[in-house]
Every structure is written in structure tokens, then in C-alpha cells.
């Protein structure tokens, strides 16, 4: 009798445990499923670095970007500036080009998108001219500042990620005492390259294929030549 009852109790315990595990597993599965659905539903306009699409917020600024580039004689760079904006902000906020620092020397002084685009395009045009039309140098200089141009010219004259790392490390050593700068990428920590984003060129160009689909062929030509 004792053995039967013990066996029955053990069976009940196992049944309860199995049921509990089942609930955990199915509950986890449901949680994962709900999380996946949430990610899919939110992914349409999320900025990524996959070069798949631009956000609607960026796309809406295409006419303004083209207009301002045309004023600088650089309409052919529309796709690259749209990709740049995508990397900077995904088109969100009052300063979609994140151009405040080049405008007033500090973050957050630009309060409207038109001023942001006007200043961002102006600064991009400036660094593009100073870099003799080298798109990669111009893009990295948009992130690092125009000082990167002379650094490249004094170190072989051609853009490379290695030079970007070296410049970032050098500037970080000079400025880390301010406490303003920190590594925005985990991989930058191994180099102590925590000034700006040394992978900025790669990040922007990941969006370029999607951006170039939004512009006419004649707008693409000069940029494609510059990247050859």
C-alpha cells in the first residue's frame, strides 16, 4: 500500500512538473512570437545599416536636399546626402542632418529641418570641395570635422579605414580629458578610437543603394564616377 501511494504521488509530481515546464516553454514561445511580430511591425521605418530602405522621414526631405545641393552646383550628390541623413538621424527630429555643431559650435542649436538641411548640405559641399571631390574623405570629414582632410593629405592622400582609426585615436587622446567623448562602437575600444565614428563611411554607404533608387540617372552619374 505504501509503495502504491508513493508511486501515485511521484506520478502526480512528475505530471505537475511536466505541466509547469510546458507552460514555461509555451509561454516563452508566445513571448518570442509576440516580440518577433513587434520587431517586424516596427521595422518598416527603422534606420538600419543594411542598405535596404530609407525611412519615410528621410524620403520626404528629398526635394529640399536636391534644392540645396543644386544651389551649390552639386545636385548629383543627392543620393549620398540622403544616405548621410539616414545615418545621422533617420530623418527624425528638428536637426535631421545633425548639423548644429558645424552651424554654431554646439549640439542642439538648430531647431528646424530646413536650417538643418541648408547647413548640412553647405558643410558637406565645403568638405567635398576641400577633399578634391573624394566622397569617402568628405563623408568621414562630415563626421570628424574638416581637420581629417589635411590628415589624409599628409598621410598618402587616400582615404582608408586605417587612417580614420588613427585620426580618431589621436583626437581622442587630445580630448578625452573633457569627458565628452566615448566609444560609440564596441570594436572602437580596442583601438581607443573613440572620437567620432571611424566606420562612418561604411555606415553611410550601406544606405546608398536604397538612396540611389530615389534619384534620376543623371543625378547619379557624377557620384558613381567619384566612387570608382
Residues with Cβ < 8 Å from 90, sequence gap 6 or more? 45, 46, 47, 55, 57, 58
Least confident of 3-17, 68-82, 113-127: 3-17
Q: What is the pLDDT of residue 52?
A: 72
Same domain, 67 and 165: yes
Q: What is the mean pLDDT of the chain?
A: 81
Provide the number of structural domains found in the chain: 2
Per residue in 110-146, pLDDT (tens digit) is 999 999 999 999 999 999 999 999 999 999 999 999 9
Whether 189 is covered by a domain: the verdict is yes
Alpha helices per DSSP H over 75-207: 78-88, 100-104, 113-130, 135-144, 147-153, 161-175, 200-205
Contacts 24+ apart (CB under 8 A), 220-223: 220/76, 220/79, 221/76, 222/76, 222/77, 223/76, 223/77, 223/79, 223/80, 223/135
Contacts of 103 (CB under 8 A, 6+ apart): 109, 110, 115, 119
pLDDT at position 184: 87
Asked if the model's pLDDT at residue 16 lies above 60, the reply is no
165 within domain boundaries: yes
Give the dihedral of Cα atoms 196, 200, 201, 207; nearest 10 deg: -160
pLDDT band of residue 219 (cuts 50, 70, 90) is: low
Q: Are residues 38 and 133 in the same domain?
A: no
pLDDT band of residue 40 (cuts 50, 70, 90) is very low
Cell, residue 200: 562612418
Mention every residue, 6+ apart, whose C-beta is less than 8 A from residue 144: 164, 167, 168, 171, 195, 196, 200
CB atoms within 10 A of CB 226: 17
Instruction: Supply the range of the domain harboring residue 16.
Output: 1-42
142-152 average pLDDT score: 97
**Which CATH number goes with the domain that contains 132?**
1.10.530.10
Q: Are residues 21 and 80 in the same domain?
A: no
Establish if 47 belongs to a structural domain: no
Confidence of residue 218 (pLDDT cuts 50, 70, 90): low
Whether this prediction's pTM lies above 0.85 is answered by: no
Computed on alpha carbons and rounded to an integer, the radius of gyration of the chain in Å comes to: 26
222 in the same domain as 110: yes
Amino acid at each position: 500500500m505504501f509503495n502504491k501511494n508513493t508511486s501515485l504521488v511521484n506520478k502526480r509530481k512528475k505530471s505537475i512538473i511536466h505541466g509547469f515546464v510546458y507552460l514555461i516553454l509555451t509561454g516563452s514561445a508566445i513571448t518570442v512570437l509576440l516580440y518577433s511580430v513587434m520587431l517586424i511591425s516596427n521595422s518598416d521605418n527603422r534606420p538600419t545599416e543594411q542598405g535596404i530602405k530609407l525611412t519615410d522621414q528621410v524620403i520626404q526631405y528629398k526635394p529640399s536636399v536636391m534644392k540645396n545641393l543644386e544651389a551649390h552646383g552639386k545636385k548629383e550628390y543627392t543620393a549620398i546626402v540622403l544616405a548621410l541623413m539616414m545615418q545621422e538621424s533617420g530623418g527624425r527630429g528638428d536637426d535631421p542632418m545633425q548639423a548644429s555643431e558645424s552651424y554654431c559650435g554646439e549640439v542642439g542649436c538648430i531647431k528646424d529641418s530646413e536650417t538643418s538641411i541648408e547647413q548640412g548640405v553647405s558643410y558637406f559641399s565645403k568638405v567635398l570641395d576641400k577633399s578634391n571631390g573624394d566622397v569617402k574623405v568628405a563623408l568621414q570629414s562630415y563626421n570628424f570635422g574638416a581637420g581629417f582632410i589635411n590628415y589624409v593629405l599628409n598621410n598618402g592622400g587616400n582615404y582608408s579605414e586605417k587612417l580614420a582609426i588613427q585620426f580618431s585615436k589621436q583626437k581622442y587622446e587630445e580630448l578625452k580629458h573633457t569627458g565628452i567623448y566615448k566609444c560609440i562602437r564596441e570594436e572602437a575600444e580596442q583601438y581607443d578610437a573613440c572620437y567620432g565614428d571611424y566606420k562612418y563611411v561604411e555606415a553611410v554607404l550601406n544606405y546608398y543603394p536604397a538612396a540611389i533608387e530615389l534619384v534620376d540617372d543623371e543625378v547619379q552619374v557624377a557620384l558613381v564616377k567619384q566612387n570608382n
